[in-house]
Structure 1
Amino acid sequence: MAGLSLAGVTKSFGDFDAVKDVSIDVKDGEFLAVLGPSGCGKTTLLRLVAGFEKLTAGEIRIGSDSVSSGEFNVPPEKRRVGIVFQNYALWPHMTVAENIGYSLKVAKVDRAEAKKRIDDALALVNLQGLGERRPANLSGGQRQRVALARCLVAAPSLVLFDEPLANLDVHLRAAMEDEFAAFHERTGTTIVYITHDQAEAMALADRIAVMDKGRLAQLATPRELYSEPANAMVASFIAQGMVLPAKVLTSEDSGHCRVEALGQEVVVRCRPGERPRDNAQICVRASDLVAAEAGEQGVDGSVKRAVYKGGAARIEFVPAAWPDVALHFEQREPNPFEAGSAARLRIASGWLIPAESAA
């Protein structure tokens, strides 16, 4: 297997930069998810790594080999990159084994060697004994595993996943997440996983690259993305975070600051070295907002909507003094809040978005 290095990668279509100055180093054996909203550049990035698109600027290296730059482009078939597509792309007239072994047939691999590699690939994806079936006789999850086996049989140095679970139902997605995690643990394959689904990325990846308008917004572990977003885009995109205007009053210690937000003073987490400043922003999660007890300071407002979630409700709240601000929090049963009722919320915690990103 091999790692992947992107250095200043840019892809332009006329005056439009689909990908702009992206630099990422993926370690050998790492599982990297590339996450972002539609149109953020994640699929273009995958096509650049696969060799389907040519770079405008920058360089891509797979292992120690340079495969793409502004001057040259190694064709896809010579990159030893495996791809698992969203639509599986299985030939319906071929058996499972024939689908998996097609690349070996084209490469004129010895029949006995090809059979061994096909059997090994079937075993890796837990499809032993199904080699003679047709794709039409398989479940959606089994077809996805056939697509994965077809990718693996060619012994790629890097595997790319292009939204592989998008066509599956919710229950099957959860099962396939377990399959992918187990596969990665068994093989140690270097994986780049393109998705718009945050739950998938959080569950599977060692690190997540969040893309925004063609640029890399943040590269971090799932926990870091959730608890310490680098900018307002990441803060609001990940787990529906709420970005609130704030004023930094004091630096309490190396990891906490006192801020004023929505008329309330609150101690929030922050990076070391933060100083008092105006025009700051904080990120708060639903778990950071709680109903204020009698006599506690808080933010007065009204409940816009209460959505039952099974054992708890999502409460959507509008502060009276800031009607353009939308807040939400979770309330376990019994739920005293209903649409139109008055309430007072307290900001219990949050994260101060770093100064260089908070403008």
Structure 2
Amino acid sequence: MKVLVAGGGTAGHVFPALALARWLADEHGAEVRFAGTSTGQEARLVPEAGFPFDPVDARPLRRDLSLETLTAPIAAVRSVSECRPLVERADVVVGMGGYVSVPIGLAAVRARRPLVLHEQNAVPGLANRLLAHRARTVALAFEEAAARLPRRSRTVLTGNPVRDRVLAVVAERETLAKEALAEFELESGRRTLVVFGGSQGALHVNAVAVDAIEHLRDREDLQVLLLTGPAHERRVVDGLAAGPMTVRVRGFLDRMELAYALADIVVSRAGATTCAELSVCGLPSILVPYPHATGRHQEANARALERAGGALVVVDHELSGTSLASAVSGLLDDPTRLGSMGERMRSWARPDAAEALARVVLDAGAPR
């Protein structure tokens, strides 16, 4: 079966698509190609993963009134026409969200190719809302998303595919944790707090974490790993005062599975891939949704995990060093609650999401 996967932008959007592609190729012998922009992370990550990649000329879906908005329909028609040859070579087309999915999805409809959409967030993006009623199936990572799609949409809950390296934490946590202790020069007898703000970091989360560490300095049972994002590492290092607590700072970490294997508590934003990975690893989390995310989808993601009992949610404008330190201490001082949160995270997780989504794709592409 020939499968065309469209989507990308950030690494968090690309990883689930690659997890799906790997399952389709390795388990079912499918021929998988990707379509995406030449400027997004997919242009680098997809070829590195060994899959063919076709760049597509697609524009962001703008909501404001501008010259670009007025000329967008013309550009969209041209883009759909350019995408049609790619689509016609496929048996099934998968849209993983993002504006590049729109011309590919519309081309699939015109070429009468079955279209499967995957929505990663609790609040569906504009691209998926536009295409949902034309899709064979819309696969969801959050069940809350179904109510925000057109009524005619056919939905199924699959979860959000997670990288194999992250799934390995479930079976190999002890081994990976030992490797992480050596990698970060941390101690085995202490609880580990991991703080990160996504692949590019989060300036506010970093600043608050530095302040929180000052309030937590006297805790002999705690050590901290700060993943700051490449642009913020020096600022964070300079802002940390000397003290007895062990604090390690990394601008970027290619092997997130090491951080996950070592973590007892995680503080992070609430992007879709982050939520999926934290839940699969069973990590009690303090989630700080990015306040400017479209449709406030990160807050909706975080609230879903909060309702499941696996996370605490602190909105960005209420986050301070004092409040974060208090939340961390409260969890450390209540190991029963901490353990329960981890179990609830695992219960919410869907570690088989790649397989479940692959089955939806294969079913859609099967001859009828």
Q: TM-score, normalised by structure 2?
A: 0.29
More strand by share: 1
Q: Which has the larger radius of gyration?
A: 1
* Structure 1 or 2: more helix by fraction: 2
